[in-house]
Copies of this chain bind each other. A is one copy, B any other.
Amino acid sequence: MSSVAAPEPRPVRFGILGCATIARKMARAMLLAPGVAVAAVGSRSEEKARLFATDNGLPAAGLRLHGTYEALLDDPDVDAVYIPLPTSLHVRWATAAAARGKHLLLEKPTALCAADLDAILATCDAAGVQFMDSTMWMHHPRTAKMRDLINGKDAMGDIKVINSVFSFRGNEDFLQNDIRVKPDLDALGALGDVGWYCIRAILWAVDYELPKTVIALRYPVKNQAGVLLDCGATLYWADGKTATFNCSFLTNLTMDITLIGTNGTLHVTDFVIPYQEKSAEFSLASKSEELDNGWDPLPNKHVVMTDLPQEALMVQEFARLLQNIRDSGSKPEGKWPAITRKTQVVLDAVKASIDKGSEPVEVVN
- Among residues of B, the one whose C-beta sits closest to the C-beta of A163 is B163
Taking a contact as CB atoms under 8 Å apart, the answer to whether A251 and B261 are in contact is: yes
Complex formed: what's the CA distance from A218 to B242 in Å? 9
The minimal Cβ–Cβ distance linking A262 to chain B, given in whole angstroms, is: 6
Q: A interface, by DSSP: helix, strand, loop or mixed? A: strand
Answer whether residue A219 sits at the interface, using C-beta atoms and an 8 A cutoff: yes
Q: Which of B261, B292, B294 contacts A28, CB < 8 Å?
A: B292
Q: With A and B bound together, what is the CA distance between A290 and B253 in angstroms?
A: 8
Q: Is A252 an interface residue (CB 8 A)?
A: yes
Nearest-Cβ distance from residue A238 to partner chain B, whole angstroms: 9
A161 in the interface (beta carbon within 8 A) = yes
Also in contact, A258 and B260, with CB within 8 A (given A221-B240, A232-B242): no
Question: Which of under 10, 10 to 19, 20 to 34, or 35 or more describes the interface residues of A?
Answer: 35 or more
Contact partner of A160 among B251, B277, B289, B309, CB < 8 A? B251
A246-B260, A252-B285, A277-B294 given. 7 additional CB < 8 A pairs?
A160-B230, A165-B258, A213-B218, A219-B242, A221-B240, A248-B260, A254-B260
**Closest 3 A-B residue pairs measured CB to CB?**
A277-B293, A254-B265, A253-B288
Residue positions of A touching B, CB distance < 8 A: 24-25, 28, 156-157, 160-161, 163, 165, 167-169, 213, 215, 217-219, 221, 230, 232, 234, 236, 240, 242, 244, 246, 248, 250-254, 256, 258, 260-265, 267, 269-270, 273-277, 283, 285-290, 292-295, 298-299, 309
- Sample 28 A-B pairs with CB under 8 A, ordered by A number: A25-B292, A28-B292, A157-B252, A160-B248, A160-B250, A161-B165, A161-B167, A161-B248, A168-B290, A169-B263, A217-B242, A217-B244, A242-B246, A250-B262, A251-B261, A251-B262, A252-B264, A252-B286, A254-B285, A258-B258, A267-B269, A270-B295, A274-B294, A275-B299, A276-B298, A277-B293, A277-B294, A293-B309
